[in-house]
Amino acid sequence: MEQKEIITDHVETRSIMTKSNAPLGGYAVNPYVGCPHACRYCYACFMKRFTGHTEEWGSFMDVKEWPEIRDPRKYDGQKVIIGTVTDGYNPLEEKYRKTRLILEQLKDSGADILICTKSDLVLRDMDLLLEINKKNRLTVSWSVNTLDESFKDDMDAAVSIERRLAAMKQVYDAGIRTVCFISPVFPGLTDIKAIFERAKDQCDLVWLENLNLRGGFKKTIMDYIADKHADLLPLYEEIYNHKNRSYFEALEKQAQEMAQKYGCRFVDNETPYERVPQGHPTIVNYFYHEEVRGTANSGKRNRKS
């Protein structure tokens, strides 16, 4: 997918910390509005309803300006997720450095920080990540839902899969907890076993999440399948029009068998923190993640903030 010309603007926000309704709970941090990765399946495109943007998703990005966090210790022990509806390490971060700024403001907070990305630009901030990792819980997660670069290019304008995996290894080898987030799993296209075997020696966790087509991009994906993978169209019709869960139930069983084969833990809806022996990542099932809320993984919130 070609990188579009990005329309940029600056917006002021009262606070960069937002209490999150996501399954992991805690606080969400999004230094930007919009995302140049332009993923065809991006659920975050719903943001346009609230921001007033009429441009195509992936063609605009607002750079947020916020007051300095003067009391970062108020987030001590809290889950803080950077990049819930944008990628904090999108290409324009190299210029604007807003993700680095929020990390600098939170580095002494004691927060449980999770960075979600599709980029290797995170390596620019290794000095800061290593400092944060000494004082806080820190996790870096990369989305990898294929090893096929041509399919990846059809779906997003982010860096290659190989660059993501190389960055994951470097961060893992530095002693920072890493996640291979196999998301979204495209039925018939995403080979979770191949991805697991490629990443298992450089991550502590493997998260699995199904492709969710409840958003406005459903037609885009269904049209893509009909055009490029017509043999899979009946399967997609069964899953996304007839609500048949059997494919993902079978995939869950495959993941359990894979965990048993490699001596890994397989859990539902929770993310144990401790590091694991190389080659034995914990596999976490987030299929039907809309059902995660309310579990032990919902996170603790500071109700006074």
Rounded Cα distance between 203 and 184, Å, is 18
The neighbour count for residue 304, using CB atoms within 10 Å, is 5
Rounded Cα distance between 144 and 211, Å, is 13
Query: pLDDT tens across 207-248, in order?
Result: 999 999 977 789 999 999 999 999 999 999 999 999 999 999
Burial 233-246 (b: 16+ CB within 10 A, else e): eeebeebbeeeeee
Are residues 263 and 186 in contact, defined by beta-carbon separation less than 8 angstroms? no
Return the pLDDT at 301: 24
Return the pLDDT at 135: 87
Asked if residue 208 is part of any domain, the answer here is yes
Asked if residue 60 is part of any domain, the answer here is no
Return the pLDDT at 22: 65
206 DSSP β-pair partners = 180, 283
Asked if residue 184 is part of any domain, the answer here is yes
Asked if residue 50 is part of any domain, the answer here is no
Residue 220 sits in which domain range?
A: 144-289
The predicted model scores a pTM of 0.91
Average pLDDT of adjacent 10-residue blocks, the chain of 305 residues: 81 94 81 95 77 83 96 95 96 98 97 97 98 94 98 97 98 97 98 98 96 87 98 97 95 96 89 84 80 36 29
Triad 225, 228, 233: Cα angle to 5°? 35
Number of domains in the chain: 1
Asked if residue 214 is part of any domain, the answer here is yes
